[in-house]
Amino acid sequence: MRLIYKGFLTYGAARPLGKVVAAFLCLVSPVMAAEPVTVLALGDSLTQGYGLPEQDGLVPQMRKWLEDQGVEAELINAGVSGDTTAGGAARVEWSLTPEVDAMIVTLGGNDLLRGIDPAVSRRNLESILRIAQANEVEVLLVGLSAPGNYGAEYKSSFDAIYPELSEAYGAFYAPDFFAGLGGGDPAALQQWFQADGIHPNAEGVARIVEGLGPHLRALIEAAQAE
């Protein structure tokens, strides 16, 4: 996290007063000591806000959640509809501009829709984490669960990607993007989705944000501590 120091040019007897003023400013106005954390949200249509008015998408609703929590952060929407883990890996390096302090990675849904080999998805996500690590950017890796129609072996291999890579690279980990929607009967969950049954509606996004919010807050606090 980049810090902005308010320096005092002091000489002789003025130096002690300068120190007192500096200490007072740090106590009463800590926001003067640091910029808000800038977080890149690297993802696909779930991040981009497909099918929703801009204000109802994931990133705008997450901004509002953070504001309500009193957390100062700038979120950059780097969601691209249709993007796979390969697309994310291809653009992550130039997406991590110098002001970015942390990154949320929500990729893999389109890999599942296309039945991409989990080993390929793993390599792509690992590439993203490796680049983030080289740039000293904290990461929150958000997991997804594979459906059972590809078979037990595929599901086991895919589902293991997120926790294993998070541990290997010291990334923050949210086990399930859709955790905020709750479990139970899949048919009952459809009330939180748009007509396509894939993309959440505005209320669904709000629930997803409630589930992901604490993970994001922990990510931001870690970036602030650097």
Mean pLDDT by 10 residues, the chain (226 residues): 32 37 40 72 97 97 96 96 98 97 98 97 98 97 94 97 98 96 77 94 97 97 91
Whole-angstrom CA distances from 216 to 110, 116, 162, 204 are 23, 28, 16, 18
Q: Is 184 left (phi over 0), alpha (psi -120 to 50) or beta?
A: left
Give the tokens for residue 52. 């929703």
- For 36-225, CATH gives 3.40.50.1110
The string of DSSP codes covering 117-143 is: -HHHHHHHHHHHHHHHHHTT-EEEEEP
pLDDT value of position 35: 73
**C-alpha to C-alpha distance for 203 and 201, rounded to whole angstroms:** 6
Give the tokens for residue 165. 């890579």
Residues known to be catalytic: 45, 196, 199
Q: Domain segments of the chain: what residues? A: 1-34, 36-225
pLDDT value of position 29: 41
Task: Assess contact for 93 and 127: CB atoms under 8 A.
Answer: no
